[in-house]
Amino acid sequence: MRNGTPVRGAAQASAGDLLHLVRSGRATTRGALQQVTGLSRATVGQRLDRLFRAGWLREGTAAPVGSPLGGRPAARLEFDDAHAVVLAAGLETRHARTALLTLTGDVLAEHTGPLRVDEGPERVLDELGVRFAALLREGDGAARSVCGIGLAVPGPVDSETGRVVQPPIMPGWDGYDIRARLGRSFAARTGGSARVPVLVDNDANLMAYGEQRAAYPDCSAFALVKVSTGIGAGVVVDGSVYRGVDGGAGDIGHIRVPWVPGSESALCRCGSYGCLAAVASGRALAGRLAAAGVPAPSGAAVTSGSDVAELLAAGHPEAVRLAREAGQRVGEVLATVVTLLNPGVLMIAGDLAGTPFLTGVRELLYQRALPRSTAHLEIVTSRLGERAAVTGAGALVVEHLYAPQRAEERLAALGF
């Protein structure tokens, strides 16, 4: 609806459209739905009945006096988040987080443990099935109540196929049919259906989606930069993830930065020299610290962004210095990103998202970007922390399954 006019004609507004209006909060009573859509009272009742029978809607407390059509307070319509659950997983280079979520994003059970993405899709996806089964047992959930699975991966994803495309740090995953394999793993380990919908996206995209929805729902242009073992970005515009034409948007870790001394000889895992990730990521800093003879707090060699994060938490002076320098390099690239996108919020997340790195980002970003581009910009750190990717993955599944057209198709398939 714009300026109070109906979104669709009476013959077009489906049960899925009514569900969307209720979920978005734009119309939460029968009278309000009539006013917004132009549907008759009887037609609204018929279409709502389908949603009630499916268990997707419920009647809550009475709406305040002063409903659009006047009269006594009307019963408020609410999305019933108890009729299904969502499974989600976020893959990192060396570990994975899995979670069982309600349809509104509340965590019912979760697990974090070692799992190396370079072990390949068969091993990793089979293990996710094992962990999903454990979550369902812990959360008292039944496999049949799982309406979908969301997966965040550290590589570019073609959103149409759910397949990763030439991922630098995911050997063996290029073009692999993740959706089908994860569906089979879920079915084998839980007794659920292998045809459960599986959605796959880049981890930075899903982190951005989760963070924007949770803390900045009114921000129309939101950007998140994840700096861990690698570097990537996610962008949310008008509430939707911006992926580009084939899922390659936000891959800022592979922007060349030849102005950094020594970057010409810094070999990136993508095979090029001088990429931002090769000089400013957690992996790059780990290499420099290891070369300087600095061990991780555990005494082992420093090999990843998480090792660098541990050194930063301990206040190691060389790690702090390098993190600030890395922040400056990233800030210089982000000056261009901010000028191009003009976001309201720029969030720094990942292993390096602490004070030294953030200080470096601010120094160069404000120095390089035009004041017009940063006048209304907030530079913040993660609100959801390690839950950001699974929260975004769960939200992506719910928004996909309950979008108007898809919801209508599902209702028909269920016989409602």
Helix/strand/coil percent split, the chain, to 5: 45, 20, 35
The predicted-structure confidence for 114-139, as pLDDT tens digits, reads as follows 999 999 999 999 999 999 999 999 98
Question: What residues make up the domain containing 104?
Answer: 85-205+390-414
1 or 333, greater pLDDT: 333
CATH number at residue 148: 3.30.420.40
If you average pLDDT over every residue of the chain, what do you get? 91
The predicted-structure confidence for 146-161, as pLDDT tens digits, reads as follows 999 999 999 999 989 9
122 or 273, greater pLDDT: 122
Distance CA 331, CA 353 (A): 13
Whether residues 251 and 312 share a domain: the answer is: yes
Distance CA 217, CA 349 (A): 18
Count of the separate structural domains present in the chain: 3
Q: How confident is the model at residue 272 (pLDDT cuts 50, 70, 90)?
A: confident
Within a domain: 8: no
The stretch 173-183 carries a mean pLDDT of 97
CA 253 to chain centre: 18
Within a domain: 6: no
The predicted-structure confidence for 37-90, as pLDDT tens digits, reads as follows 999 999 999 999 999 999 999 998 765 555 455 556 778 999 999 999 999 999
Query: Are the CB atoms for 121 and 198 separated by under 8 Å?
Result: no
The pTM for the full model equals: 0.91
Query: Are the CB atoms for 170 and 149 separated by under 8 Å?
Result: no
Whether residues 91 and 163 share a domain: the answer is: yes
Distance CA 157, CA 273 (A): 23
The stretch 164-182 carries a mean pLDDT of 94
Query: Which residues lie below 8 Å from residue 91, measured CB to CB, with a gap of 6+?
Result: 115, 117, 124, 151, 152, 153, 154, 203
Distance CA 209, CA 241 (A): 7
Distance CA 87, CA 55 (A): 19
Q: Which of 6-15, 103-112, 133-142 is the least confident region?
A: 6-15
Whether residues 230 and 350 share a domain: the answer is: yes
CATH number at residue 44: 1.10.10.10
pLDDT at site 5: 39
The stretch 375-389 carries a mean pLDDT of 96
Task: Locate all alpha helices (DSSP H) within 99-176, ordered by sequence.
Answer: 121-138
**Dihedral angle, C-alpha 92, 96, 101, 104, nearest 10 °:** -10
Whether residues 251 and 340 share a domain: the answer is: yes
Within a domain: 4: no
- CA distances to 127, 377, 393 from 123, rounded to whole Å, are 6, 42, 21
Query: Are the CB atoms for 16 and 64 separated by under 8 Å?
Result: no
Percent of the chain with pLDDT strictly greater than 70? 93
Query: Which residues lie below 8 Å from residue 294, measured CB to CB, with a gap of 6+?
Result: 302, 311, 316, 318, 319
Half-sphere exposure of 169 (CA within 13 A, CB side): 25
pLDDT at site 216: 97
Whether residues 245 and 290 share a domain: the answer is: yes
**pLDDT above 90: residue 240:** yes
Whether residues 283 and 354 share a domain: the answer is: yes
Within a domain: 27: yes
Distance CA 12, CA 68 (A): 22
Distance CA 270, CA 286 (A): 18
pLDDT at site 365: 96
Bridge-based pairing state of the strands 75-79 and 57-62: antiparallel
Q: How confident is the model at residue 1 (pLDDT cuts 50, 70, 90)?
A: very low
Within a domain: 10: no
CA 193 to chain centre: 24
Within a domain: 179: yes
Q: What is the number of H-type helices and E-type strands within the chain?
A: 14, 14
Distance CA 374, CA 161 (A): 37
